[in-house]
Structure 1
């Protein structure tokens, strides 16, 4: 998985990078991962050495120069102002950045902007005048270097360490902690400073080049997931992205009318609870968010069976037209920021929270279109679909569910030792077997 895939960068992307701990590496890895041409520029300044990482370097003095150089934008092109007395390349002012943005819209190329400086430290806190993020930026990547963890908070590890101490609620000279990095990332005068209201917020936890730092990155990610749309844990010096952490929804399909057992099968008791409650509790324990239960033929009894759980409901009035209508009803209820969705059946009690966690973790490591368990050599449910397939799922008709989509894409499998996940309650004998295993 390259950085363009991990960041979900579109051809028309406008991405700003802030923070410290591998910002230049991230900027140019992304530039090399997207289809050229791509423009790299700065709203503050760039080191002269950074321009050497590009294929071409164009120097402009005013906004009007941008259109004049349009024919020279090829490959990875850095556009800056002239070098200053300190030999740093001047960034573009607002008018020149706007001209680059306008030209990119005309010619259809992405624009990547370095929006602050960091003096090559693992961490930083922004000054009053930074970051300088244009209003038209659609994604802001806030970089933090995990190599600072455990080292004394001071000028060797943190650029503007006094400000970091304030935003991260830390003490100078004390070891940099996971908690202080998390607090800095979510502080309005820290990682969130200057981000346009409509921009997608991404935290890039970089320099996780050993297992302890990878685990630290995951813990920090858990602290900031409510603030950032996406969090990457990476070791970009090794071109490794360990995980892309985005919200994963759980959609429980409970819209049928199978009443051959005297009541709808999703309400059949097992281990003291209705089957649908087992599914919902497993989804919640696994961290799926939101968890949406799609009802159809039966509404109030399902709601009662799930009382007290922090879940959402979606009613599918067209349930008789097939499972595809429940798929669409569930997808309609999840936020646009959702990275993927796990579709669960309400009658498979051996689908545990552990299995769901493994599905999600495997998906986050590869960001494949379809992720599914496999037991005894057979593909099983539940299936996790990446958001790129949501539009196709919304076009399904009849009783096909997601099977038609799965067959069109490569599947990432999670091998699972318990073949009881293959059991669903379609016949009376299935339920009797389930009760016999209890």
Structure 2
């Protein structure tokens, strides 16, 4: 049975460690990043044992950078830094616990920052990066050039949108032809947790989703609305053979699904 957790446990449940976190997949990456930043801002963000997320007791609010390796829109109500000087970014972080960092791109979006990720990790406790694109679709398979996971990544979060289950592959999957090839499905087939598990297992095993050797990997099912979606998350867990987290952000509801 899914175990209900307080939303404050999300960073610990996703094994978010100090350093770089990359969020990939589809169906809720941006909301996940914003939620993690809000929860991590609290001094001593608790894990399951009441200590900090990385096992320490933080005395002050940590510094957090929100950024991307692809493209994002600036986070609202968050200071934005678009330069390339570490000293300037450090000054912004002195006045604001969370800063959005990137390079101006077309249509008001941000591209990857000019500073390297190891430099960002020296300036902030947590560097939270959106490392994938999905064109706002809930299901994703990856082409050879994506996702763009920094080599410094210590926590890798793979997002799956539960609102894609039950609809046809061609209507809800980004790169449906790759999804079909990896899952053995047809474009008109309904997306099931078992098909998503096949794609994820394939991409993790052959490096299509690159995972640095020391990084943790977490599966997060978003847009969970009701028992049917919880059952879908449970099926994904059983088919994939990995623990799965399920979240309903509007309702501030979080579940852990594991043996």
Match of 1:18 in 2: 24
Q: Structure 1: give runs of 5+ residues left out of the alignment.
A: 246-286, 288-438
2:249 alignment partner in structure 1: 236
Give yes or no for the alignment of 1:186 onto 2:201. yes
Q: 2:235: which partner in 1?
A: 219
Tell me if the contact between 2:66 and 2:127 (Cα under 8 Å) persists in the aligned partners: yes
Q: Taking structure 1 as reference, are residues 217 and 244 closer, same or farther at Cα in structure 2, changes over 3 Å only?
A: closer
1:71 has 2:91 as partner:
yes
- Is the contact made by 2:79 and 2:98 (CA closer than 8 Å) also made in structure 1? yes
| Equivalent residue, structure 2, for 1:282 | none
Question: Cα–Cα, structure 1 residues 237 and 191, in superposed 2: closer, same or farther, change >3 Å?
Answer: farther
Cα distance, 1:244 vs. partner?
4.9
CA-CA distance at 1:83 after TM superposition = 2.4
Name the SS of the counterpart of 1:238 in structure 2: coil
Structure 2 residue 110 is matched with structure 1 residue 89: yes
In structure 2, stretches of 5+ residues that fail to align are 1-5, 42-61
- Return the alpha-carbon distance in structure 1 between the equivalents of residues 190 and 82 of structure 2: 42
Contact 1:184 1:191 in 2 (8 A): no
Q: 122, 128, 133: which is aligned to 1:117?
A: 133
Conservation of the 8 A alpha-carbon contact between 1:185 and 1:192: no
Cα contact 1:14–1:138 (8 A) shared by 2: yes
Under a length normalisation based on structure 1, what TM-score does the superposition of the two structures give?
Answer: 0.49
Determine the C-alpha separation between the residues in 1 that align with 2:89 and 2:20. Answer: 20
Alignment CA distance shift 1:145-1:180 (3 Å) = same
Contact 1:56 / 1:75 at 8 angstroms: preserved in 2? Answer: no
**Quick check: 1:46 aligned with 2:60?**
no
Aligned partner of residue 100 in structure 2, secondary structure: strand
Match of 2:213 among 190, 193, 197: 197
Q: Would the aligned equivalents of 2:237 and 2:244 in 1 still touch at CA under 8 Å?
A: yes
Deviation at residue 118 of structure 1 after TM alignment = 1.1
Q: Deviations over 1:331-380 (max 9, x none)?
A: xxxxxxxxxxxxxxxxxxxxxxxxxxxxxxxxxxxxxxxxxxxxxxxxxx
Q: Distance in 1 between matches of 2:250 and 2:177?
A: 28
1:207 and 1:134 map into 2 onto residues whose CA distance is: 26
| Offset at residue 191 of structure 1 (A) | 8.6
Alignment match of 2:63 (pick from 24, 29, 37): 37
SS for the counterpart of 1:25 is helix
Structure 1 residue 13 displacement after superposition? 4.0
Q: TM-score, normalised by structure 2?
A: 0.81
Q: In structure 2, how many angstroms separate the alpha carbons of the residues matched to 1:238 and 1:172?
A: 33
Instruction: Measure how far apart 1:69 and its partner are.
Output: 1.9
Deviation at 1:192, TM superposition (A): 5.7
Larger Cα Rg: Structure 1 or Structure 2? 1
The whole-number CA distance in structure 2 between the counterparts of 1:118 and 1:191 is 18
Question: CA RMSD, aligned part only?
Answer: 2.0
Tell me the matched-pair count.
229
Runs of 4+ with deviation above 3 angstroms: 189-192
Contact 1:22 1:236 in 2 (8 A): no
Q: Which secondary structure does the structure 2 equivalent of 1:144 belong to? A: strand
Shift of 1:76: 2.0
